[in-house]
Amino acid sequence: MDLAPIEKKRGDMRPLLEKLHRDHLNLTRLLDLMSNELDALCAGHESDFDLKIEMLDYIEHYAEQVHHPTEDQINRVAFRKKSMKEHVALYERISREHGDLLGLARTFRKSLEGAVQGEVLLREEVETRGREFIALQRQHLDLEEHEVFPLIEAVLSDKDWQKLEEEITHMDDPVFLRQDYNRFRSLIDYLKAHENE
Ligand SMILES: [Fe+2]
């Protein structure tokens, strides 16, 4: 499994792919921070469970409402092309993983909520759920960036992109763009405080 960080790409991508790529960079940032938080938790340090829940809330909300639907819509058009027939297994895998990722995020959030509510719960349980989610999420991002996006770029025409641009509902990222303080105050403050890490 290639967990190499996703590098920033040149500005020659299609706007929709560039937006998805930017989402991936933001998500990678959150996964790194979440991973550090889990390391600290396992080392027995104080842990801010509310912050981690807010992170997951953002990841689930944004993935479910914006990021995955955009990818699914693009993938549906791209993988329907004749030349993409041989990649049907890849298409099925990424579609399935979108569902699996939300499932893992929910299970992880439940274990964190349990911890906040004072449930007797082993730290290992939170750690296992967290690591599980982070690992699949990273693997999935890597697959999309290195295999799926290049295939899509090669197969979709200007006309396809134009149609997709018209069909896809645009919604601004509530943390990295719109900065919705009412809903994600702790996370936004935390990101500012950890800007240089
Ligand atoms: Fe993605």
Rounded to whole angstroms, what are the CA distances from 197 to 36, 190, 191, 194? 10, 11, 10, 5
Q: Give CA angle at 154 (3, 71), nearest 5°.
A: 60
Q: Using the mean position of ligand 1's atoms as its centre, give its distance from the Cα of residue 151 in Å.
A: 14
Tell me which residue range forms the domain holding 143: 15-193
Domain count, the chain: 1
Judge whether 2 lies within some domain.
no
Judge whether 135 lies within some domain.
yes
Q: Using the mean position of ligand 1's atoms as its centre, give its distance from the Cα of residue 153 in Å.
A: 15
Judge whether 8 lies within some domain.
no
What pTM was estimated for this model as a whole? 0.89
Judge whether 163 lies within some domain.
yes
Judge whether 1 lies within some domain.
no
Judge whether 153 lies within some domain.
yes
Q: Using the mean position of ligand 1's atoms as its centre, give its distance from the Cα of residue 109 in Å.
A: 20
Judge whether 179 lies within some domain.
yes
Q: Using the mean position of ligand 1's atoms as its centre, give its distance from the Cα of residue 187 in Å.
A: 21
State the pLDDT at residue 49: 82
Judge whether 7 lies within some domain.
no
Average pLDDT of adjacent 10-residue blocks, the chain of 197 residues:
51 86 94 92 83 92 91 96 96 95 93 78 84 97 96 95 91 87 91 83
Q: Using the mean position of ligand 1's atoms as its centre, give its distance from the Cα of residue 144 in Å.
A: 6
Q: Using the mean position of ligand 1's atoms as its centre, give its distance from the Cα of residue 196 in Å.
A: 25
Q: Using the mean position of ligand 1's atoms as its centre, give its distance from the Cα of residue 46 in Å.
A: 32
Contact 63, 102 (CB under 8 A): yes
Q: Using the mean position of ligand 1's atoms as its centre, give its distance from the Cα of residue 17 in Å.
A: 10
State the pLDDT at residue 141: 96
Q: Using the mean position of ligand 1's atoms as its centre, give its distance from the Cα of residue 67 in Å.
A: 6
Give the domain CATH number at 127.
Answer: 1.20.120.520
